[in-house]
């Protein structure tokens, strides 16, 4: 829901209904979504809250996730006082008493893990949050937080796509499988670069993807989502499109089967070199 703030209430409801019809159940937003550098902080949450007010039944059909901890103009704040304030503000904008998942959006280097843990635990104890997670953390930062939490971490939201492979090799996916964390992969299409590749690497990846798309009768985007979901960490692609016709393609991802050869062909193209 990063770009959701630009829609009106009717269009917003149409996008949500299209996603639900396509089988999407997780809706990921954040208080920073809508911020354009000078204003708009909270706009994506506020629009979603307006949609809920007009169509309250939609809330019950989704897993609702939001994030806090980015505080323009100061970058990050995960102190208990700030996160408590940020969560209450998010709930007010959304018009709900509870979210299903609350994640710290980016690690605050000035907050001790024990302080961040207390903020997350307090939110769950107060009934404002059902589960907690993090976003853009390193494995060591996840480990430090998990060690002092009395409740389990449920999720980690890193960037991952065929053009951003770091979680495969930096321990993020390995740790997710070790701790049974849900992976929410943001920017799965490479920030749009795989839709319209402008360099040799992107074009090489697109060529392999299009071969699979032709074989499976699916769109290139659906093939990418399927490739991401094929990893045993079971990543959940966070889709950012605001076009109903693109949302309708999402269900295709579940019908695509990957052989090891096909999956690794994409990885080799993405790496730009043979595997060792």
Active site amino acids: 33
**Who contacts 2 (Cβ-Cβ below 8 Å, separation ≥6)?**
29, 30, 33, 44, 240
* CA angle, 144 then 147 then 150, to 5°: 135
d(Cα 215, Cα 244) in Å, to the nearest integer?
24
The 10 Å CB-count burial string (b at 16+, else e) for 12-48 is bbebbbbbeebebebbbbbbbbbbeeeeebbbbbbbb
Q: Which two tokens stand for residue 137?
A: 């953390």
Three-state DSSP class for 248?
helix
């Amino acid at each position: 829901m990063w770009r959701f703030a630009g829609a009106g209430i009717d269009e917003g409801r149409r996008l949500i209904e299209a996603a639900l019809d396509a089988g999407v159940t997780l809706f990921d937003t954040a208080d920073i979504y809508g911020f354009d550098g000078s204003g708009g902080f909270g706009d994506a949450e506020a629009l979603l809250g307006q949609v809920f007010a007009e169509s309250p039944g939609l809330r019950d059909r989704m897993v609702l996730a939001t994030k806090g901890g980015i505080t323009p103009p100061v970058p990050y704040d995960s102190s208990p006082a700030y996160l408590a304030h940020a969560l209450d503000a998010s709930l007010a904008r959304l018009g709900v008493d509870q979210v299903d998942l609350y994640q710290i959006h980016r690690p605050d280097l000035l907050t001790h893990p024990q302080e961040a843990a207390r903020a997350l635990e307090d939110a769950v104890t107060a009934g404002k949050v059902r589960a907690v997670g993090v976003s853009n953390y390193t494995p060591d930062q996840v480990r430090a937080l998990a060690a002092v939490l009395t409740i389990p971490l449920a999720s980690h939201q890193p960037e991952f796509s065929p053009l951003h492979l770091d979680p495969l090799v930096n321990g993020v996916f390995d740790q997710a499988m070790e701790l049974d964390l849900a992976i929410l992969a943001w920017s799965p299409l490479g920030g749009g670069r795989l839709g319209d590749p402008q360099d040799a690497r992107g074009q090489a990846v697109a060529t392999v993807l299009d071969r699979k798309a032709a074989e499976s009768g699916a769109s290139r985007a659906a093939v990418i989502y399927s490739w991401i979901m094929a990893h045993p960490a079971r990543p959940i692609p966070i889709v950012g499109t605001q076009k109903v016709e693109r949302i309708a393609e999402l269900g295709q991802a579940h019908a695509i089967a990957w052989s090891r050869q096909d999956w690794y062909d994409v990885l080799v193209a993405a790496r730009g070199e043979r595997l060792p």
